[in-house]
Structure 1
Amino acid sequence: MKKLVIKDIAEQLQVSKSTISFVLNGKARQHGISIKLENKILKYVEKVGYQPSRIAVGLSTGKSKTIGMLVEDISDPFFSSIARVVERSALSSGYRVIYGSTENDTVQAIDLLQAFRNHNVDGYIIAPPPGIENYIQELITDGFPVVVFDRDLPGLNCDKVLIDNFDGALQAVEHLVARQFKNIAMVTLLSRQNQMEERTNGYLKAIDDAGLAKKIKQIPYDLEKPKCVEVIRKFLAGQKTIDAVFFSTNYLALSGIEAIRQLGLRVAEDIGIVVFDDNTNFELFSPSISAVAQPVKQIGEQVTQIMLNRLQANTPAGFERVVLKTTLIARESTVNEVPALVK
């Protein structure tokens, strides 16, 4: 079936295309269109189920009813879960969401922001890689609402929904200390991202408070998994006193668990593990993996509500900064004792 366009409606009702457009965009009174004709057009549009193109509406109203969302990797469970919450919440208010993955690459992020702008999106929800502060500031200066989430860009004034990464990491390492682990290493990314620095600072605070020696291994973000496994394996093999590891991301933990297996070590019995950012698979592992869970649903709801408030001009003049707490989920990987066999 041929899709209806404004021209078809105009021909059927024997009025001009501009008259149809003015009515559909709520500008009938401004252009002297009678209530009777307006109602006639609206009833016909409802009858035939006409849906205007969002791009066309955007060109005529300056609003596309579309939100652009930039994440590090849309296939990552953390970001995809947040995106689902954002999409559902936005849709209930008549907005669509389009996505892009930056792969933590500044140039790619800038290209995506430009593509979103060319698409006439109304607002931007961004998990920013380093180096795009000026481009985000340009969006804000031009009047676009921007909500930054997951990682901060200090010095950039905009709405932000963040996680208390420092406290989450602190609790994770304090948990290992309480379980009597004495040589606790941290495997993290070689990254200038604010959230990674906060997680490292949380680790260092817990280690210093316990009077233990710090051991940190930084791994490049773009390292392929086999190489990442190899780097972690060599690190652990060269530090045989390590009895526990705090991984700053779940994908580093997956590589780390493989490295531990290759070394012939047993999780919980030979080496404890706690991970920042829970993964639905971690509780299914044997032994199950202790993790810091981020409030995914809250993050998605908060960023969407702030964005919708901005788009609907229903918000205070000042920017909002929301900092959410994490939850430590203790599982079998941090038991630090082998149960006696039942004879």
Structure 2
Amino acid sequence: MKKVFLKDIAKKLNVSKTAVSLVLNNKGDENKISQETQKKIIDYAKKHNYVPNQLARGLSRGKSETIGLIIPNISDSFYSKIAGYVELKAKSLGYTVLFSSSSEDPKKESELIRSMLNRQVEGLIIASTQRNLKEIESLKEDKFPFVLIDRHYPESETNYVIVDNYNGSKTVTEHLLKLGRQKIGFITLKPGLEAIRQRMLGYENALKDFDIEFKKELIKELSPVNYEDEIKLAVSELIKFPNSVDSIVFSTHYLTSVGLRELKRFNVKVPQEVAIVSFDELSAFDLVDPPITSVIQPVKDISNIAVEILINEIEGMKESIDNTRILDSKLEIRKSCGTF
């Protein structure tokens, strides 16, 4: 839909731009603009998804000192931690945060972006579905401050803070290889997110560096929607006697959690029969028996740096900080790998 500007509304309704601006800034009554005219302006603006110009809005209303955070799923432990740290950091810098979840739906993500703009946020932090390039490019064109976290669009120059998914996955796979594990399964999501693709590539190249043959049948790609149903078959195929894997890399913490349940159901001994490693972790991973070797992402750093980049840009200081950051993860070695 073509973007509608204040001047377009004024021209269409045959009223002054000043009148439109006053009405859309809730100053129609105090400036004695008729209720009929106010209703026409508001109805037209809503119908055509009018988004106020950020600079003009700032001049007329002052700063809102509010930023928006759009994440895929607030119930996911990774993103709930992100939300908590973003809120704390923003508060320390004098800003409040509006939270929303996209549910991995690009249409909903687009609606949330427009809604956030209409609610007068001064900037956005977005963990995108990576299926919304058009919306992201629109924010760029409007010079609206935003930072992408966890996921970004490699084909578009934007502010972003992400983790080095490739090296994190490569390191954890190499750890298994150094222990003598050579038949390593990889349970992941179907390609779509750049982070998942990088984790797959890290796994593949670790095998290559150790002269281990890459076998497609050892990779199980699950639907992001139905992974809990599909993982039972994936695990059963990887541990099928006599060609069972000797280890499994799970590309996300929630796949690890469900995979552990299935391994227990099949009475697989970890790590004696199959070693387990996870990219990212749940707080329980160091409490289960055995504790799970995990790639730990720097959640606090991701959050703090994203807020700093965003607020620096909002306040016109974007030259003072690197606006694209790729952070290292940490390999936390626990007993789920054992020795071999």
Is TM > 0.5 for Structure 1 vs Structure 2?
yes
Give every structure 1 segment of 4 or more consecutive aligned residues whose post-TM-superposition deviation is greater than 3 Å: 57-60, 237-240
Question: Shift of the alpha carbon at 1:250?
Answer: 0.3
Q: Within 5 Å, which residues of 2 pair with 1:228-267?
A: 228-238=230-240, 240-267=243-270
CA distance in 2, matches of 1:139, 1:319: 19
Note the residue ranges of structure 2 that are not aligned, 5 or more in a row. 1-56
CA distance in 2, matches of 1:297, 1:80: 11
Alignment CA distance shift 1:244-1:74 (3 Å): same
CA distance in 1, matches of 2:338, 2:74: 33
Partner of 2:281: 278
Aligned residues of 1:168 and 1:325 also touching (Cα < 8 A): yes
Partner of 1:41: none
Aligned residues of 1:250 and 1:276 also touching (Cα < 8 A): yes
Over the residues paired in the alignment, what is the CA RMSD in angstroms?
1.9
Question: Shift of the alpha carbon at 1:81?
Answer: 1.1
Matched residue SS, 1:78: helix
Matched residue SS, 1:266: coil
Aligned residues of 2:186 and 2:250 also touching (Cα < 8 A): yes
Question: Shift of the alpha carbon at 1:85?
Answer: 1.2
Aligned residues of 1:249 and 1:277 also touching (Cα < 8 A): yes
CA distance in 1, matches of 2:139, 2:187: 36
CA distance in 2, matches of 1:235, 1:61: 61
Instruction: Indicate the percent of aligned positions where both proteins have the same amino acid.
Output: 31
Structure 2 residue 152 is the aligned partner of structure 1 residue 149:
no
Post-superposition Cα deviations, 1:141-163, rounded to whole Å, max 9, x if no partner, equal 11210101111211222211111
TM-score (norm: length of structure 2): 0.78
**Bigger mean CA offset, 282-291 vs 111-120:** 111-120
Matched residue SS, 1:152: coil
Note the residue ranges of structure 1 that are not aligned, 5 or more in a row. 1-56, 338-343
TM-score (norm: length of structure 1): 0.77
Partner of 1:120: 120
Question: Shift of the alpha carbon at 1:211?
Answer: 2.2
Aligned residues of 2:71 and 2:79 also touching (Cα < 8 A): yes
Aligned residues of 1:183 and 1:213 also touching (Cα < 8 A): no
Q: Within 5 Å, which residues of 2 pair with 1:167-316?
A: 167-214=167-214, 215-223=218-226, 225=228, 227-238=229-240, 240-316=243-319
Structure 2 residue 335 is the aligned partner of structure 1 residue 336:
no
Aligned residues of 1:186 and 1:248 also touching (Cα < 8 A): yes
**Bigger mean CA offset, 266-275 vs 238-247:** 238-247
Post-superposition Cα deviations, 1:283-303, rounded to whole Å, max 9, x if no partner, equal 001000000000111111100
Question: Shift of the alpha carbon at 1:132?
Answer: 0.7
Partner of 2:96: 96
Tell me which amino acid in the other structure corresponds to 2:208.
Answer: D
Partner of 1:20: none
